[in-house]
Amino acid sequence: MTMQHESHPHDERLAALAGADPQATDDRALRDHVTACDRCRAVVDDLALLRSALAELPDLRPSRPLQLLPPVAAPARPRAGLLGRLRRLSMPALAAGAALILVGAFGSTGVVENLGSAAGALYSNVGADLEGAGASAEGASAATPEATALRGLGGNDSAASAPPAASSAGEPGILTPEAETPTFMAAPTREGDDEGALSVTSDPFSGRLAWLVVLGLGVVLAVGSLLLRFTVQPRAG
């Protein structure tokens, strides 16, 4: 009995034989053993019955209704060309253009005039300081902190060099064209500094010009984006 047990093939070999695995069925010694050994033959027979029953296991009804057909997928969108990509930028560009128009229009009307007076008053004060005359009351009245802050828009070195002390006198913040013009026209120039004088006199104009340029840019951007929007059609799909 012991001898017979020791000579049994491994059960996995019997399982291979039951499954008609060629490596097992081609093994003549294995087949001979199974034919002669009741125990091993019983294992192989059981496993064959088992396989037969497993192969019968029925199909099962799904636990819930299934979607038999996938929905029609939208065709992949073709990659947008250069115009298509530009068209996608048209709405942000239109918004930017509108903003520039607003800023430009606002700046080139009310604000620039104030700016001009502020700058003019400031420069007259500068001139007065340079002349050493302390009686430039109008210039001092215009040299408010706002004017000081706007100096940069004048875009010249003379404005930038205006001394902070100029804001120490006069009513702050009241800038009128009437006040501006005589002061501006009377603004003395530094002796031997013609270039500086020229800068001072052209400053309000260049400030207004800058706003107009902004306005123009806005118009160009808005019109361009509108044209792009309505002339380039998006691709189908």
- Token readout for 90 is 């048209």
Considering the complex, what minimum distance in angstroms separates the CB of residue 46 from another protein? 5
User: In the structure, how many helices (H) and strands (E) does the chain have?
Assistant: 14, 0
Q: Which of 62, 132, 164, 192 binds another protein (CB under 8 A)?
A: 62
Considering the complex, what minimum distance in angstroms separates the CB of residue 43 from another protein? 7
Does 59 bind another protein (CB under 8 A)? Our answer is yes
Give the binding-site size for another protein (rule: CB under 8 A): 34
Does 236 bind another protein (CB under 8 A)? Our answer is no
DSSP letters spanning 141-187: HH--HHHHHTHHHH-SHHHHT--GGGGGSS-TT---HHHHHHHHHH-
Name which of 52 and 168 has its Cβ closer to another protein: 52
Over the window 11 to 50, marking each residue x when it contacts another protein by CB under 8 A and - when it does not, the resulting string is xx--xx-xxxx---------------------x-xxxxxx
Name which of 20 and 149 has its Cβ closer to another protein: 20
Name which of 3 and 68 has its Cβ closer to another protein: 68
C-alpha dihedral (208, 214, 215, 218), degrees to nearest 10:
180
Q: Which of 26, 38, 58, 74 binds another protein (CB under 8 A)?
A: 58
Over the window 178 to 207, marking each residue x when it contacts another protein by CB under 8 A and - when it does not, the resulting string is ------------------------------
Cβ neighbours of residue 107 closer than 8 Å, sequence gap 6 or more: 210, 211, 214, 215
Q: Which of 61, 82, 168, 236 binds another protein (CB under 8 A)?
A: 61
Considering the complex, what minimum distance in angstroms separates the CB of residue 65 from another protein? 9
For the chain, the first-to-last Cα distance in angstroms comes to 80
The stretch near another protein (CB under 8 A) out of 29-37, 58-66, 172-180, 187-195 is: 58-66
Name which of 43 and 101 has its Cβ closer to another protein: 43
Helix residue spans in 71-163 (DSSP H): 82-88, 90-106, 112-131, 137-142, 145-149, 151-154, 157-160
Q: Which of 1, 3, 55, 82 binds another protein (CB under 8 A)?
A: 55
Considering the complex, what minimum distance in angstroms separates the CB of residue 17 from another protein? 10
Q: How far is CA 27 from CA 12, 23, 38, 44, in A?
A: 14, 7, 18, 15
Pair 151, 119: CB distance under 8 Å: yes
Question: How far apart are the C-alpha atoms of 90 and 70, rounded to whole Å?
Answer: 36
- What are the residues binding another protein (CB under 8 A)? 11-12, 15-16, 18-21, 43, 45-64, 66-70
